[in-house]
């Protein structure tokens, strides 16, 4: 059986993607596979054939962007409540590695190294994306629950 990571959107539709927090218009809100910035989330399009925001018809595009805002607000509220060092969220639509439309929501904190805090998270060492200590796991269940609750309040 293929790993759910090879088809994140299909797995979300089938209820097999364990990172899904909520179904939102035009999308799925998911918690990131790694949590070295606690609260990192991604909004996945619900249509794997959509590779760019501009491919969505205007009403669907507006719904997707409203879903980005909902997820970003949930991350902001949750992370601010859990860590007084929370500063803000960064929102990025890149599409360079995965071919489908998705949006990264990165919480940023004052405890980050000063030389990286004001820069894009992609400048962190590559190892951060693969470190066992920060991989999503049961230790993140309270964070996951808080994010899910935050999304429910705004749905």
How does DSSP assign 53-108, residue by residue?
Answer: GGGS-HHHHHHHHHHHHHHHHHHHHHHHHH-TTEEEEEEE---SSSSS-EEEEEEE
Tokens of 32: 């990131």
Decide: helix, strand or coil at residue 114.
Answer: helix
12-34 mean pLDDT: 96
In this prediction, residue 154 has a pLDDT band, given cuts at 50, 70 and 90, of: low
Span of 20-24, 66-70, 149-153 with lowest mean pLDDT: 149-153
Could you give the angle at which helices 58-82 and 141-153 cross, rounded to 10 degrees?
130
| Domains along the sequence of the chain with CATH | 4-153 (3.30.428.10)
Provide the pLDDT confidence category of residue 37 given band limits of 50, 70 and 90.
very high
Burial class (CB in 10 A: 0-12, 13-18, 19+), 135: middle
How far apart (Å, rounded) are the C-alpha atoms in residues 39 and 51?
A: 25
pLDDT at residue 96 greater than cutoff 60: yes
Mean predicted confidence (pLDDT) in 107-113: 98
- Residue 26, Ramachandran bin (φ over 0: left; ψ between -120 and 50: alpha; else beta): left
Mean pLDDT in residue range 1-22: 90
pLDDT at 6: 86
| Closest listed residue to residue 31, CA positions, set 149, 127, 131, 118 | 149
Question: How far is 24 from 76, CA to CA, in rounded Å?
Answer: 17
Q: Which of 22-31, 62-71, 134-143 has the lowest mean pLDDT?
A: 134-143
pLDDT at position 116: 95
């Amino acid at each position: 059986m293929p790993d759910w990571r090879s088809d994140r959107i299909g797995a979300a539709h089938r209820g097999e993607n364990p990172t899904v927090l909520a179904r939102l218009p035009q999308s799925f809100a998911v918690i990131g596979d790694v949590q070295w910035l606690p609260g990192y989330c991604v909004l996945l399009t619900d249509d794997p054939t959509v590779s760019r925001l501009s491919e969505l018809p205007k009403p669907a595009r507006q719904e997707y962007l409203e879903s980005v805002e909902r997820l970003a607000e949930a991350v902001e509220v949750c992370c601010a409540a859990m860590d007084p060092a929370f500063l803000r969220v960064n929102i990025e639509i890149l599409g360079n590695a995965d071919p489908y439309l998705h949006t990264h929501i990165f919480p940023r904190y004052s405890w980050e190294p000063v030389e990286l805090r004001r820069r894009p998270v992609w400048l962190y060492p590559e190892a951060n994306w693969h470190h066992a200590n920060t991989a999503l796991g049961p230790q993140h269940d309270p964070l996951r629950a808080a994010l899910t609750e935050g999304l429910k309040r705004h749905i």
